[in-house]
Amino acid sequence: MKRFGISTNCGMEYPLVDVLTRLSEICDLVEIQCDAKHSLFLYEDVFKDFDLRCTIHAPTGDGNIATPFESIRQASVEVIRETAEIGDRIGAETLVIHPGFCLFASEWEAASVAMMRSFEELGEIQENFSIRFAMENLGSWDCCMFQTPELLDLIRGAGLLFALDVGHANLTGTLSTFLRKRPDHLHLHDNCGKWDEHAACGSGMIDFSSVLSVAGSATMIVEVMRFEDVEQSLMFLENL
């Protein structure tokens, strides 16, 4: 079993079958970004032709589990439930979920309440599946929920895992604090502290030695934007 998995995020402009074919040559674990040409709602059967372990990143293009607009919140949770059904059918291990966002400061409190309601519901939904749900910390945009570790007790109290995105944590200045919280799943990519570049590991300012030293049994996924950054990241990480 190889140490690092790779997100299909590196080839979102290509069909899922092409990306899986290419990644299967260099890894045995992939994380399927369930959007656009990689949507498992459209291309679930593609994965069955590959001898790969997998995790899934729930759709990000639509939905918001932190919206106070209850109909949209419920629909967003339902999409995650349906993604979990697919995940169980293809044997996926983990389903990574974004905690939502709030565009208007005046609604932040209501959005926080909606998000926590979604955490509880997702914890209950998870009990019906083999796939485990993991909540991901977001980056430094003002609208992003779950940027700091304070929510982790609520997340884990709901029975959910913690997916640490090291690039996002670097942008919010919380990486060292998050690393002490024993993440269950890791997204590995780099940046220079200003933008969410999802650049090759080793090309920015993140200290990956400290990340790997506390990774333990956490699943580690390289989540870069380009195929050429996958090989560069793997070479860098494997030499640490």
The span from the first CA to the last CA of the chain, in angstroms, equals 18
Nearest to 190 by CA among 210, 165, 157, 214: 165
Question: What CA–CA distance (Å, rounded) separates 35 from 143?
Answer: 21
State which amino acid sits at residue 111.
A
Please list the rounded mean pLDDT of every run of 10 residues in the chain (240 residues): 94 98 98 98 97 98 95 98 98 98 97 98 98 97 96 97 98 97 98 97 98 97 98 97
Q: Where are the domains of the chain?
A: 5-238
User: Which pLDDT does position 1 carry in this prediction?
Assistant: 74
Question: What CATH number belongs to 5-238?
Answer: 3.20.20.150
pLDDT of 223 reads 98
Q: How far is CA 13 from CA 37, 43, 141, 165, in A?
A: 7, 15, 25, 22
pTM: 0.98
Can you give the pLDDT at residue 62? 86
Among residues 44, 41, 103, 35, the alpha carbon closest in space to that of 72 is found at 103
For residue 145, what pLDDT is reported? 96
